[in-house]
Amino acid sequence: MLIRSRRGWEIPEAQITPEHVFLNRRAFMTGSAGLLAAAAMPAGLRSAFAEADPSADLYPAAVNDMYEGGRPLTPEAISSTYNNFYEFGSHKRIAKAAQKLKIRPWTVTFDGLVEEERTVDVDTLLRAMPLEERIYRHRCVEAWAMTVPWTGFPLKAMVDYAKPLSDAKYVRFETFLDRKMASGQKQGWYPWPYVEGLTMAEATNELTLMVTGAYGKPLAKQFGAPLRLHTPWKYGFKSIKSIVRISFVAERPVGFWEEVQGREYGFWANVNPEVSHPRWSQATEELIGTGERVPTVIYNGYGEFVADLYKDMDGERLFM
Ligand SMILES: Nc1nc2c(c(=O)[nH]1)N[C@H]1C(S)=C(S)[C@@H](COP(=O)(O)O)O[C@H]1N2
Ligand SMILES: [Mo]
């Protein structure tokens, strides 16, 4: 079952879409309206972001509405105060602690099986990439979900930019390591820094998004600024935050949670309501902030984009 087409339970878009998405969608269609939309933002808010983040002028980006959220957006006040970011604590209320994250200067290193290793300033990178806004559902293995208007660019654009060699089979992502800045990283029983990986086919799938913003502005620190991954058909732990290194490799990377507990967290981690995690049934999920539970859908409802990636992989634990 797919969530792409409209369903009876969907509220008409006009009732659920926040103002910035509307302004934004008009901007996408008419071009010049985008300037008006940006000007319509409260001036105080705009200048606060402009001061704080040198990429602020890139937002809001044009909406790509190929990918329907299919659910009401999770209000920013909810999604930005209920986070998993173990670098800043092993509970959900890390938003305040995460403000310690220093996001400039910030560089991203491309290495491993590439034509040429290089380290790029994040602002140079952002300006070289085609930013757009997409509404995606996010599904954590702890059985909660949210729907967020992310801004970012297809990871494929960055793979092309990095120029991997033909023997690269996987992409390995790594988060920063700084025990002074992120007190969670003093917890020595975790295998810091956080690492995640995708196959090249997953990395270059059209759904795979490098996220640089949310809710029409640069990414809040607790969401994993300045650069995080989002693979909406996989459990949330695959969506690694605050990336500093992207390596092209021949061997399958071992992710942070797989390293911690390989029987509970695997490499593929595709959403499937029929395969329970040892501690959480995956049959339903809670839409955070609403108290509502809804049935979980295989591949989180994105099967039409990704199911083909997993044909003929019978021996693999695709769903944990
Ligand atoms: N570096 C890093 N990335 C991470 C995590 C983390 O603890 N550290 N948690 C993951 C998990 S389990 C989830 S569900 C999502 C949470 O994203 P959110 O806080 O933006 O909702 O981030 C993922 N990426
Ligand atoms: Mo998660």
The closest-lying atom of ligand 1 relative to the alpha carbon of residue 86 is 7
Question: How many C-beta atoms surround the C-beta of residue 307 within 10 A?
Answer: 14
Which residues form the pocket of ligand 1, taking CB atoms under 6 Å from any ligand atom? 83-87, 140, 175, 194, 223-224, 236-237, 239-242
Domains of the chain, earliest start first? 13-307 (3.90.420.10)
What is the per-residue pLDDT across 61-90, written as a single tens digit (0 to 9) for each?
A: 999 999 999 999 999 999 999 999 999 999
Which residues lie closer than 8 Å to 180 by C-beta, 6 or more apart? none
Residue type, 24: N
Mean pLDDT of 104-123: 98
Looking at residue 274, what is its pLDDT? 98
Q: From ligand 1's centre to the CA of 88, what distance in Å? A: 11
Provide the whole-model pTM.
Answer: 0.87
The closest-lying atom of ligand 1 relative to the alpha carbon of residue 229 is 24
Looking at residue 27, what is its pLDDT? 41
The closest residue, in CA terms, to atom 20 on ligand 1 is 223
Whether the pLDDT of residue 293 is over 70: the answer is: yes
Question: Residue 225 in 3-state DSSP?
Answer: coil
Q: Is 299 left (phi over 0), alpha (psi -120 to 50) or beta?
A: left
What is the per-residue pLDDT across 12-24, written as a single tens digit (0 to 9) for each?
A: 333 344 444 443 4
Whether the pLDDT of residue 3 is over 70: the answer is: no
- Compute the CA torsion angle 34, 122, 64, 209 (nearest 10 deg): -160
Whether the pLDDT of residue 253 is over 70: the answer is: yes
Q: From ligand 1's centre to the CA of 75, what distance in Å? A: 18
Which ligand is in closest contact with the Cα of 90? 1
The closest residue, in CA terms, to atom 24 on ligand 1 is 240
Mean pLDDT over the full length of the chain: 89
Looking at residue 81, what is its pLDDT? 98
What is the per-residue pLDDT across 161-204, written as a single tens digit (0 to 9) for each?
A: 999 999 999 999 999 999 999 999 999 999 999 999 999 999 99
The closest-lying atom of ligand 1 relative to the alpha carbon of residue 235 is 14
Which ligand is in closest contact with the Cα of 288? 1
By CB atoms closer than 10 A (0-12, 13-18, 19+), residue 2 is middle
Q: Are 166 and 228 in contact (CB under 8 A)?
A: no
- Measured in degrees and rounded to the nearest 5, phi and psi for residue 138 equal -120, 130
- Measured in degrees and rounded to the nearest 5, phi and psi for residue 287 equal -80, 105
Q: Which of 65-69, 247-251, 255-259, 289-293 has the lowest mean pLDDT?
A: 65-69
The closest residue, in CA terms, to atom 21 on ligand 1 is 83
Which residues lie closer than 8 Å to 286 by C-beta, 6 or more apart? 143, 144, 145, 292, 293
Which residues lie closer than 8 Å to 48 by C-beta, 6 or more apart? none
What is the C-alpha separation between 290 and 99, in angstroms, rounded?
26
Which residues lie closer than 8 Å to 39 by C-beta, 6 or more apart? none
Radius of gyration of the chain (CA): 19
Whether the pLDDT of residue 311 is over 80: the answer is: yes
Structure-block tokens of residue 252: 């399958």
Looking at residue 1, what is its pLDDT? 39
Structure-block tokens of residue 127: 């300006």
Which ligand is in closest contact with the Cα of 82? 1
- The separation between CA 172 and the C-alpha centre of its own chain, rounded to angstroms, equals 15
